[in-house]
Structure 1
Amino acid sequence: MRVLAGRLHRWAGLATALFLAAAGLTGSVLAFKNELEALLNPQLFQVAVPHGSDTVRSLQDPFVLREQLQQRYPAARADYLGFPQPGHSLMFFLMPRPHAISGDPIVPTRDQVFVDPYTGAVLGDRQWGVLWSEGRWHAENLVPFVWRLHEALALPHPWGKWFMGAVALVWTLDCFTGLWLTLPRGQPFLRKWRPAWGIKRGASAYRFTLDLHRAFGLWLWVALLVFAWSSVMLNLREAIYRPVMSTAFSFQDEARQRPPRLPSPRWEPGLDWRVAHARARDSLQSLASSQGFQVLREDSLWYRPAQGAYLYRTRTSWDLRDEVGRSDLWIDGDTGAVLLTNFEGRGLGGDQVSAWLRVLHTGEIGGLAYRIAVGLVGVVVAMLSVTGIMVWARKRRARAHGRSD
């Protein structure tokens, strides 16, 4: 049995090592994605705050800025509106209008536009995650491209996510195989298991590599399992994650996650954006008063033609994340009636576990200390992949030498 487990661990590790090393290192980078974006692209993300005045009052009306942007890009749809925060640029997502001709020069070749919320000036734009186009490199997309590598090896959707989901599933199962291989035979159990948790001083290079691989895998076993299984959740949620987790936890009906898709998109809402915002804000404040939570910050308002509804996203005292809000309220785009609400970290047991797995994976909880920890875990994942290959190569050479003798 142990021989079979050893073979499974060996071949699972070899099959996934390079991909896990890439995922670990890119994940370490993404733990600081906001800081890196501001450092690498200050012209897009940083704005000058007016002096000698109330910076909040100095912010321009975001609805006016959206209307101006819509006029600037008439062939695009500015269906996403983020609410400005002092000292930060305002980002708009652009989507082509239906039946737009891609060769028409007024159709934007960029899908993100950055605007100064104090002056209304367009700071720049980019096509998210595209590192090479139009015969040149786009350095402003370096961090988004790292994100694409981490999530799906920059492969086309959905193949990349399916592939990385399969890698994550093998990694999850291999966590248990690797743990089992460290367990000692016979008694006393703890005394015999103790050497597996340490690194022997003065050992040979091979023994040092083996100890490094085994000890770090044991000390960080829980963290590795969390990142492995959360990767399955993020890539194979419906195919693998929910069926497995549903054996132990209850999940909210999928129909309660977002309104159903309409038979055909409703491209233009009946409610004006300002009216929709007022309806959504008032509805959320009523819920906050009756259910005992606080609305801390407005995040965004997004019209979704497929549902014919506005998605109003805020950060509330119920949210798990440090900065980005994930409390959602959907209202009908024509009537303003509340269709459904979703609050991060609330709901049934499976929904709460999933919310925690997500924020633990992305490092959006626990402040800078936890993000540093996430970055270190990513480096350890890469190290375990490399040392695993080194141990296998050393054993392979030893077996080959033995056969030649």
Structure 2
Amino acid sequence: MRLFARRLHLWLGLGLGGLFALLGLTGSALVFYTGIDAALHPAVRVEHGAPAPDAGSPVWDVALATGMQSRHHPGGKWTFEVTGEGGPIAARYYPAPGHHGDREMIWFSADGKRIVRAEPWGGYLMSWLYQLHMQLLAGEIGHQLVGWSGVAMLVLLVTGIWVWWPRGEWRKALAFKRHAAPIRRLRDLHKLSGLWSMALLFVLVATGVLLALPSVAQAVFAPADIPEPHGAATGARRIPIVRALAVAQRALPDGRLTFFDVPMTPEAPLRMRFQVPGDPHPRFPGSYVFVDQGTGAVLAVHDVRRGGRGTRLAAWIRTLHDGTVGGVATRILAVVLGLVPAMLFATGVLHWLRRRRAHTKP
């Protein structure tokens, strides 16, 4: 059985090791992708230093009006991010489904009166890396490929431990022989780098599978469905964003606003996204308030704390995958872990090639 595990580990490593390394390296680059992207665009960085707008700031309505001057397709949608930091205002514009256009990332000046940067999603370095990491630049097929390849990578990790597991000589199994032959040093480096990172790599890969395959996450955790309410569509003028945010905050008084959506379709509600106490992800939390665009009435509230155990467990998937679980320290750890698959692939291939050459010598 151990021989079977060894062969399975070898061929999975040769077949998927390159993809594993690619996903690890791109994942490392993406841990701090918003900060890296800001550093690469000085035209946006000059806006830093301005105070952070809160939910009661009129700047949100100003920015929406500025954006709608050039992007106002009837079926489109604006999403604004509330970072809690000063500087440019980050937003996304989604054209109507079926409309010939890609999602755009928009940055407004701190006063909301100017667009200081606008680029299609996937059209600049960090978003391109994001698409590569999530779907290999291949859309839904890429999502599926990443997800199911991740399942095979879990098998790769398990067989690696199985092949390594010592039969009594633990000290020898955990040793790195610096003065041994090169082929032995390669094997030890491969063995030990995999061994000490195994548990955390397993978490990263497993959570990556669940993010790439939401249907699997749904089957495993059965989280509560997010409501999809509809407004009255009375034709009334949209209420000011400031008023809608105040209404939403009263519905979740202990929540921290992170995003809000402004759809151009009148019957679609305004959607506010909040982090509530106990929700682990600071940027992509799981609680929502839906507000009627015309009347300002609360149509629905989705509080992650009331969704049951499956909902609360599912909330940890992203925060474990991107390293935000413990702040900056665990994000740095996630960067380092993302480099390990490349090391495992390189040492594994080199060890395999040296063994092949040794076996083919006359």
Q: TM-score range by the shorter chain?
A: 0.7 to 0.9
1:152 counterpart letter in structure 2: Q
1:353 shift after superposition? 2.9
Give how far 1:354 is off: 2.7
Out of 264, 277, 300, the residue aligned to residue 339 of structure 1 is: 300
1:251 maps to which residue?
Answer: 222
- Structure 1 Cα separation of the partners of residues 340 and 66 of structure 2: 48
The one of 235, 239, 257 equivalent to 1:274 is 239
- TM superposition outliers: structure 1 runs of 4+ over 6 Å: 266-269
Moved more, 19-28 or 389-398: 389-398
Partner of 1:138: none
* 1:363 alignment partner, one of 308, 323, 331: 323
Give the aligned partner of residue 114 of structure 2: 121
- 2-side partners of 1:352 and 1:304: how far apart? 32
Q: For structure 2, list consecutive stretches of 5 or more residues without a partner in the other structure.
A: none
Aligned to 2:16: 16
Confirm or deny that 1:146 pairs with 2:129. yes
Post-superposition CA distance 1:132-173 (Å, at most 9, x none): xxxxxxxxx111111111112222x10111111121010112
CA gap of 1:79–1:45, structure 2 versus 1, over 3 A, is same
**AA paired with 2:134?**
E
The 3 A distance-change label for structure 1 pair 394 and 259 is same
TM-score of the two chains, using structure 1 as the length reference? 0.78
1:157-236 equivalences in 2 (<5 Å):
157-185=139-167, 189=168, 192-236=169-213
- Asked if structure 2 preserves the Cα contact closer than 8 Å seen for 1:63 and 1:274, the reply is no
Please tell me whether the aligned partners of residues 113 and 125 of structure 1 are also in contact (alpha carbons under 8 angstroms): yes
Superposed, 1:302-341 pairs within 5 Å as 302-303=262-263, 308-323=268-283, 325-332=285-292, 336-341=297-302
Deviation at 1:267, TM superposition (A): 12
Change in CA separation of 1:216 and 1:349 when aligned onto 2, cut-off 3 Å: farther
Shift of the alpha carbon at 1:3? 0.7
Separation in 1, partners of 2:179, 2:266: 64
AA matched with 2:203: V
C-alpha deviation, 1:374, in angstroms: 0.4
Q: 1:305 to 1:218 in 2, by over 3 A?
A: farther
Q: Does 1:92 align with 2:61?
A: no
- Residue 282 of structure 1 aligns with an amino acid whose one-letter code is V
Which whole-Å CA distance do the structure 2 matches of 1:39 and 1:287 have between them?
34
Residue pair 1:94, 1:112 contacting (<8 A) in 2 also: yes
Are 2:52 and 2:87, in contact at CA under 8 Å, matched by a contact in 1? no
TM-superposed CA distance for 1:95, in Å, is 2.9
| The 10-residue stretch of structure 1 (142-151 or 81-90) with the greater mean CA deviation from structure 2 | 81-90
Identify the structure with bigger relative contact order (alpha carbons < 8 Å, sequence gap 6+). Answer: 2
Q: How many residues align?
A: 359
TM-fit CA distance, 1:49: 3.5
1:242–1:71 CA distance, 2 compared to 1 (3 A): closer
User: What percent identity do the matched residue pairs reach?
Assistant: 25
Evaluate the alpha carbon distance shift between residue 373 and residue 46 of structure 1 in structure 2; reply closer, same or farther with a 3 A threshold: farther
Q: Which amino acid aligns with 1:162?
A: Q
**CA deviation after TM superposition for structure 1 residue 400, in Å:** 2.7
- Partners in 2 of 1:339 and 1:271 — Cα distance? 20
Task: Give unpaired runs (5+ residues) of structure 1.
Answer: 103-107, 131-140, 289-293
CA positional deviation for 1:273: 4.6
Q: SS where residue 353 of structure 1 aligns? A: helix
Q: C-alpha separation between the residues in 2 aligned to 1:113 and 1:304?
A: 17
Distance 1:38 1:111 in 2: 16
Q: Secondary structure at the match of 2:302?
A: strand
CA distance in 2, matches of 1:271, 1:397: 77
Over 3 Å counting, the alpha-carbon distance change for 1:2 and 1:354 in structure 2 is same
Distance in 2 between the 1:280 and 1:337 partners?
Answer: 11
Q: CA deviation at 1:369?
A: 1.1
